[in-house]
Structure 1
Amino acid sequence: MKKLLKRILALLRQIFQQFSSTSKPSSPPPYHPPAIPIPPIPTFVPQWQNGLVLVCSQCTVEQFSGSSHRINRGTTASEELQNWLKSRIKFDGLWGKYRVVSTSCLGVCPQSRVVVVLHHDAIGQQCFIVSPEGEREILYSIIKQINQ
Protein backbone atom coordinates (compact mmCIF):
# COMPACT_ATOMS: atom_id res chain seq x y z
CA MET A 1 0.00 0.00 0.00
CA LYS A 2 2.89 2.32 0.77
CA LYS A 3 4.34 1.72 -2.65
CA LEU A 4 1.02 2.53 -4.26
CA LEU A 5 0.65 5.84 -2.35
CA LYS A 6 4.23 6.78 -3.23
CA ARG A 7 3.52 6.01 -6.87
CA ILE A 8 0.29 8.09 -6.86
CA LEU A 9 2.06 11.03 -5.19
CA ALA A 10 4.88 10.85 -7.73
CA LEU A 11 2.35 10.83 -10.59
CA LEU A 12 0.46 13.76 -9.10
CA ARG A 13 3.70 15.76 -8.73
CA GLN A 14 4.60 14.95 -12.31
CA ILE A 15 1.16 16.05 -13.53
CA PHE A 16 1.31 19.31 -11.49
CA GLN A 17 4.81 20.06 -12.78
CA GLN A 18 3.77 19.47 -16.38
CA PHE A 19 0.62 21.55 -15.91
CA SER A 20 2.45 24.41 -14.23
CA SER A 21 5.30 24.48 -16.77
CA THR A 22 3.11 24.34 -19.90
CA SER A 23 0.33 26.64 -18.85
CA LYS A 24 1.97 29.36 -16.84
CA PRO A 25 -0.41 32.23 -16.50
CA SER A 26 0.92 34.84 -18.83
CA SER A 27 0.42 38.51 -18.30
CA PRO A 28 -2.16 40.08 -20.56
CA PRO A 29 -0.80 41.94 -23.56
CA PRO A 30 -0.25 45.66 -22.99
CA TYR A 31 -3.23 47.84 -23.71
CA HIS A 32 -2.95 49.97 -26.78
CA PRO A 33 -5.91 52.29 -27.26
CA PRO A 34 -7.19 52.50 -30.79
CA ALA A 35 -5.47 55.16 -32.83
CA ILE A 36 -7.91 58.04 -33.01
CA PRO A 37 -6.84 60.88 -35.24
CA ILE A 38 -6.66 64.15 -33.33
CA PRO A 39 -8.27 66.90 -35.36
CA PRO A 40 -6.33 70.16 -35.58
CA ILE A 41 -7.54 73.06 -33.47
CA PRO A 42 -8.01 76.24 -35.47
CA THR A 43 -5.65 79.09 -34.62
CA PHE A 44 -5.66 82.77 -35.50
CA VAL A 45 -3.52 85.86 -35.15
CA PRO A 46 -5.46 88.38 -33.07
CA GLN A 47 -5.35 92.15 -33.63
CA TRP A 48 -4.11 92.58 -30.09
CA GLN A 49 -1.19 90.20 -30.43
CA ASN A 50 1.21 92.98 -29.43
CA GLY A 51 -0.53 94.08 -26.24
CA LEU A 52 -2.53 92.28 -23.60
CA VAL A 53 -3.54 93.71 -20.21
CA LEU A 54 -4.70 91.19 -17.59
CA VAL A 55 -6.52 92.58 -14.56
CA CYS A 56 -7.02 90.28 -11.58
CA SER A 57 -10.73 90.12 -10.84
CA GLN A 58 -10.24 88.58 -7.39
CA CYS A 59 -7.90 91.09 -5.72
CA THR A 60 -10.63 93.28 -4.27
CA VAL A 61 -13.34 90.62 -4.07
CA GLU A 62 -11.86 88.01 -1.75
CA GLN A 63 -9.92 90.33 0.54
CA PHE A 64 -12.42 93.15 0.66
CA SER A 65 -15.83 91.63 0.41
CA GLY A 66 -17.21 94.54 2.42
CA SER A 67 -18.69 97.66 0.87
CA SER A 68 -15.47 99.71 1.16
CA HIS A 69 -14.18 98.44 -2.19
CA ARG A 70 -17.50 98.32 -3.98
CA ILE A 71 -17.62 101.43 -6.10
CA ASN A 72 -20.75 101.64 -8.29
CA ARG A 73 -23.73 99.33 -8.58
CA GLY A 74 -21.95 96.47 -6.89
CA THR A 75 -18.81 96.56 -9.04
CA THR A 76 -15.46 95.95 -7.42
CA ALA A 77 -12.37 98.11 -7.67
CA SER A 78 -10.86 95.50 -10.01
CA GLU A 79 -13.86 95.75 -12.34
CA GLU A 80 -13.74 99.52 -12.23
CA LEU A 81 -10.04 99.53 -13.09
CA GLN A 82 -10.64 97.15 -15.96
CA ASN A 83 -13.54 99.22 -17.32
CA TRP A 84 -11.55 102.44 -16.95
CA LEU A 85 -8.55 100.97 -18.82
CA LYS A 86 -10.83 99.73 -21.61
CA SER A 87 -12.47 103.12 -22.04
CA ARG A 88 -9.12 104.97 -22.07
CA ILE A 89 -7.61 102.57 -24.58
CA LYS A 90 -10.67 102.88 -26.80
CA PHE A 91 -10.71 106.68 -26.45
CA ASP A 92 -7.06 106.94 -27.53
CA GLY A 93 -7.61 104.61 -30.49
CA LEU A 94 -5.47 101.80 -29.10
CA TRP A 95 -8.22 99.22 -28.75
CA GLY A 96 -7.11 97.11 -31.71
CA LYS A 97 -3.53 97.06 -30.44
CA TYR A 98 -4.41 96.24 -26.82
CA ARG A 99 -6.93 94.02 -25.19
CA VAL A 100 -7.96 94.36 -21.52
CA VAL A 101 -9.10 91.09 -19.97
CA SER A 102 -10.08 90.11 -16.45
CA THR A 103 -8.43 87.03 -15.07
CA SER A 104 -8.89 84.88 -12.01
CA CYS A 105 -6.51 84.99 -9.07
CA LEU A 106 -2.86 85.47 -10.00
CA GLY A 107 -1.65 84.40 -6.56
CA VAL A 108 -0.21 87.73 -5.39
CA CYS A 109 -3.18 89.06 -3.38
CA PRO A 110 -1.90 92.52 -2.39
CA GLN A 111 -3.60 94.48 0.37
CA SER A 112 -5.94 97.20 -1.04
CA ARG A 113 -4.40 96.89 -4.50
CA VAL A 114 -4.93 95.10 -7.81
CA VAL A 115 -2.50 92.96 -9.78
CA VAL A 116 -2.18 93.90 -13.44
CA VAL A 117 -0.05 92.00 -15.93
CA LEU A 118 1.00 93.83 -19.07
CA HIS A 119 2.29 91.75 -21.95
CA HIS A 120 3.73 93.50 -24.98
CA ASP A 121 6.16 92.34 -27.64
CA ALA A 122 8.42 95.34 -26.99
CA ILE A 123 8.85 94.74 -23.24
CA GLY A 124 7.82 91.15 -22.71
CA GLN A 125 5.76 90.74 -19.58
CA GLN A 126 5.57 93.09 -16.60
CA CYS A 127 3.51 92.66 -13.46
CA PHE A 128 2.22 95.67 -11.54
CA ILE A 129 0.56 96.04 -8.17
CA VAL A 130 -1.53 99.19 -8.44
CA SER A 131 -3.92 101.19 -6.35
CA PRO A 132 -7.14 100.93 -8.37
CA GLU A 133 -7.87 104.64 -8.28
CA GLY A 134 -4.62 106.31 -7.26
CA GLU A 135 -2.20 104.77 -9.74
CA ARG A 136 -4.35 103.97 -12.74
CA GLU A 137 -3.13 107.07 -14.61
CA ILE A 138 0.48 106.00 -14.06
CA LEU A 139 -0.34 102.51 -15.31
CA TYR A 140 -2.03 103.92 -18.38
CA SER A 141 0.90 106.22 -19.11
CA ILE A 142 3.17 103.14 -19.13
CA ILE A 143 0.83 101.39 -21.57
CA LYS A 144 0.70 104.46 -23.80
CA GLN A 145 4.48 105.01 -23.64
CA ILE A 146 5.14 101.45 -24.80
CA ASN A 147 2.93 101.98 -27.82
CA GLN A 148 4.84 105.04 -29.08
Structure 2
Amino acid sequence: MRKEENPWSDALVMICTKCGKSISGMKEANVAENLKMFYKKSLKDSGDGKKIRVVTSSCLDICIDEFQAITVASNDKTESFIMHPEKDRDAFLELLKEKL
Protein backbone atom coordinates (compact mmCIF):
# COMPACT_ATOMS: atom_id res chain seq x y z
CA MET A 1 0.00 0.00 0.00
CA ARG A 2 1.15 3.53 -0.67
CA LYS A 3 -0.20 6.99 -0.07
CA GLU A 4 -1.17 9.02 -3.15
CA GLU A 5 -1.83 12.71 -3.53
CA ASN A 6 -5.08 13.74 -5.17
CA PRO A 7 -5.82 16.84 -7.26
CA TRP A 8 -8.76 17.91 -5.08
CA SER A 9 -7.04 18.02 -1.73
CA ASP A 10 -8.59 21.30 -0.54
CA ALA A 11 -12.05 19.91 0.25
CA LEU A 12 -14.61 17.20 -0.34
CA VAL A 13 -18.30 18.12 -0.59
CA MET A 14 -20.78 15.30 0.10
CA ILE A 15 -24.43 15.80 -0.87
CA CYS A 16 -26.99 13.43 0.69
CA THR A 17 -29.03 11.51 -1.89
CA LYS A 18 -31.88 10.82 0.55
CA CYS A 19 -32.79 14.38 1.59
CA GLY A 20 -34.27 15.48 -1.74
CA LYS A 21 -37.13 13.04 -1.31
CA SER A 22 -38.43 15.08 1.65
CA ILE A 23 -38.53 18.45 -0.12
CA SER A 24 -41.98 19.56 -1.29
CA GLY A 25 -42.28 19.87 -5.05
CA MET A 26 -39.01 18.04 -5.66
CA LYS A 27 -39.91 14.45 -4.88
CA GLU A 28 -39.44 13.37 -8.51
CA ALA A 29 -36.26 15.38 -9.11
CA ASN A 30 -32.82 13.99 -8.43
CA VAL A 31 -31.93 16.86 -6.10
CA ALA A 32 -28.50 15.61 -5.01
CA GLU A 33 -27.34 14.87 -8.55
CA ASN A 34 -28.62 18.25 -9.80
CA LEU A 35 -26.79 20.08 -7.00
CA LYS A 36 -23.62 18.10 -7.64
CA MET A 37 -23.65 19.05 -11.31
CA PHE A 38 -24.40 22.71 -10.49
CA TYR A 39 -21.47 22.94 -8.04
CA LYS A 40 -19.05 21.03 -10.27
CA LYS A 41 -19.84 23.27 -13.26
CA SER A 42 -19.74 26.47 -11.20
CA LEU A 43 -16.41 25.57 -9.59
CA LYS A 44 -14.93 24.54 -12.94
CA ASP A 45 -16.10 27.79 -14.56
CA SER A 46 -14.44 29.83 -11.79
CA GLY A 47 -11.19 27.87 -12.08
CA ASP A 48 -11.65 26.12 -8.73
CA GLY A 49 -12.86 22.77 -10.06
CA LYS A 50 -9.68 20.90 -9.21
CA LYS A 51 -9.55 22.19 -5.64
CA ILE A 52 -12.86 20.73 -4.45
CA ARG A 53 -14.37 17.32 -5.20
CA VAL A 54 -18.20 17.26 -5.18
CA VAL A 55 -19.87 13.87 -4.76
CA THR A 56 -23.24 12.43 -3.84
CA SER A 57 -23.40 10.36 -0.68
CA SER A 58 -25.69 8.04 1.16
CA CYS A 59 -27.49 9.48 4.20
CA LEU A 60 -25.38 11.89 6.26
CA ASP A 61 -27.65 11.43 9.32
CA ILE A 62 -28.59 15.10 9.62
CA CYS A 63 -31.90 14.90 7.77
CA ILE A 64 -34.43 17.66 8.38
CA ASP A 65 -37.61 17.70 6.28
CA GLU A 66 -37.66 20.29 3.50
CA PHE A 67 -33.85 20.72 3.53
CA GLN A 68 -30.85 19.22 1.76
CA ALA A 69 -27.93 18.02 3.91
CA ILE A 70 -24.40 18.74 2.74
CA THR A 71 -21.09 18.04 4.48
CA VAL A 72 -17.80 19.73 3.62
CA ALA A 73 -14.63 17.96 4.73
CA SER A 74 -11.28 19.70 4.46
CA ASN A 75 -7.88 19.49 6.10
CA ASP A 76 -8.95 21.98 8.74
CA LYS A 77 -12.34 20.61 9.75
CA THR A 78 -15.60 19.01 8.75
CA GLU A 79 -18.79 21.07 8.67
CA SER A 80 -22.36 20.04 7.90
CA PHE A 81 -25.09 22.28 6.55
CA ILE A 82 -28.78 22.09 5.75
CA MET A 83 -30.08 24.20 2.90
CA HIS A 84 -32.83 24.54 0.36
CA PRO A 85 -31.44 23.19 -2.93
CA GLU A 86 -32.78 26.08 -5.02
CA LYS A 87 -32.99 29.08 -2.69
CA ASP A 88 -29.63 28.56 -0.96
CA ARG A 89 -27.45 27.00 -3.65
CA ASP A 90 -25.74 30.25 -4.72
CA ALA A 91 -25.04 31.29 -1.13
CA PHE A 92 -23.52 27.86 -0.45
CA LEU A 93 -21.35 28.20 -3.57
CA GLU A 94 -19.99 31.49 -2.23
CA LEU A 95 -19.31 29.83 1.12
CA LEU A 96 -17.34 27.10 -0.67
CA LYS A 97 -15.28 29.66 -2.56
CA GLU A 98 -14.48 31.47 0.71
CA LYS A 99 -13.03 28.23 2.06
CA LEU A 100 -10.45 28.05 -0.75
- TM-score w.r.t. the length of structure 2 is 0.88
What stretches of structure 1 of length at least 5 have no aligned partner? Answer: 1-40
Of 15, 26, 49, the match for 2:9: 49
Query: How large is the Cα RMSD of the aligned pairs?
Result: 1.8
Residue 129 of structure 1 pairs with residue 82 of structure 2: yes
Supply the distance in 2 between the matched residues of 1:89 and 1:81 (Cα, whole angstroms). Answer: 12
The offset of 1:120, in angstroms, is 2.2
Task: Name the counterpart of 1:100.
Answer: 54
Larger RCO, structures 1/2 (Cα 8 Å, 6+ apart): 2
The percentage of counterpart residues that share the same residue type is 24
Bigger-Rg structure (1/2): 1
What stretches of structure 2 of length at least 5 have no aligned partner? Answer: none
**Any residues of structure 2 matched to 1:1-148 within 5 Å, and which?**
41-61=1-21, 63=22, 68-70=25-27, 75-121=29-75, 123-147=76-100
Higher strand share: 2
Runs of 4+ in structure 1 off by over 2 angstroms are none
- TM-score w.r.t. the length of structure 1 is 0.61
The offset of 1:42, in angstroms, is 4.1
